């Protein structure tokens, strides 16, 4: 009788068991106390329950954001593919388990939108969001972000986002996003769209989105 198959089977079982236990430790690497400390810190800029905040600059709503998108963007800050000195300092010290824990945490929050955008722009913004602007080669926003603007997977939730934040991002897209051309992500899709929208159209879309729940 050969013991080689038995030994190989036993060795494989040990490797699998070790990998599973390592994965379990990785998943449990962030304690509730550690996560709370980090989310309390996030409130400083992003407001209570991740609802966003208006200070010297509009700080984006994180509540309800798609975890995959949020994790991708934090990684983009770390790798300087998206420029923001404050967020680089925040993100580059986060462990992979903490990145995942934070992304999951914000997904489950759902405070009321802050609103505040000119309501007379909402109807035009709704039309652009749903129909796009064919003459400017701008597709419907809903085609990627969903009819309810809640996003999916790597496409972000826009519903309830601060209108002034959306305006600032879309009018400065090329100065912040896609800074490493060798490592494009889904945000590359938005570059020509942001470029083809006028400031008036951006304000209208931003107003519409800011009231969605």
Query: pTM for the complete prediction?
Result: 0.83
One domain, residues 104 and 147: yes
Residue 12: CA count within 13 A, CB half-sphere:
6
Asked if the model's pLDDT at residue 20 lies above 90, the reply is no
One domain, residues 46 and 23: no
One domain, residues 11 and 36: no
One domain, residues 82 and 6: no
5/12 Cα distance (integer angstroms): 10
Report residue 133: phi and psi, to 5°: -135, 85
The CATH number of residue 42's host domain is 1.10.760.10
One domain, residues 155 and 167: yes
One domain, residues 16 and 115: no
Domain boundaries, position 39? 32-210
Comparing 10 with 44, the larger pLDDT belongs to 44
One domain, residues 12 and 39: no
* 58-88 pLDDT per residue, tens: 999 999 999 999 999 999 999 999 999 999 9
* 83-130 pLDDT per residue, tens: 999 999 999 999 999 999 999 999 999 999 999 999 999 999 999 999
Q: How many domains does the chain have?
A: 2
One domain, residues 80 and 48: yes
């Amino acid at each position: 009788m050969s013991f080689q198959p038995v030994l190989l089977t036993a060795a494989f079982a040990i490797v699998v068991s070790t990998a599973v236990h390592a994965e379990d430790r990785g998943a449990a690497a962030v304690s509730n106390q550690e996560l709370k400390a980090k989310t309390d810190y996030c409130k400083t800029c992003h407001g209570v329950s991740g609802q966003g905040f208006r200070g010297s600059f509009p700080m984006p709503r994180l509540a309800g954001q798609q975890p995959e998108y949020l994790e991708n963007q934090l990684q983009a800050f770390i790798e300087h593919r998206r420029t923001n000195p404050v967020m680089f300092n925040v993100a580059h010290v986060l462990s992979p388990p903490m990145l995942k824990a934070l992304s999951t945490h914000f997904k489950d929050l759902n405070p009321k939108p802050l609103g505040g955008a000119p309501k007379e722009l909402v109807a035009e913004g709704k039309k652009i969001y749903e129909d796009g602007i064919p003459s400017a080669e701008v597709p419907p926003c809903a085609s990627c972000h969903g009819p309810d603007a809640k996003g999916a997977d790597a496409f972000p939730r826009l519903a309830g986002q601060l209108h002034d934040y959306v305006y600032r991002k879309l009018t400065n897209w090329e100065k912040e996003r896609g800074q490493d051309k060798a490592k494009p992500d889904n945000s590359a899709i938005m570059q020509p769209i942001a470029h083809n929208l006028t400031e008036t159209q951006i304000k209208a879309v931003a107003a519409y989105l800011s009231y969605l729940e």
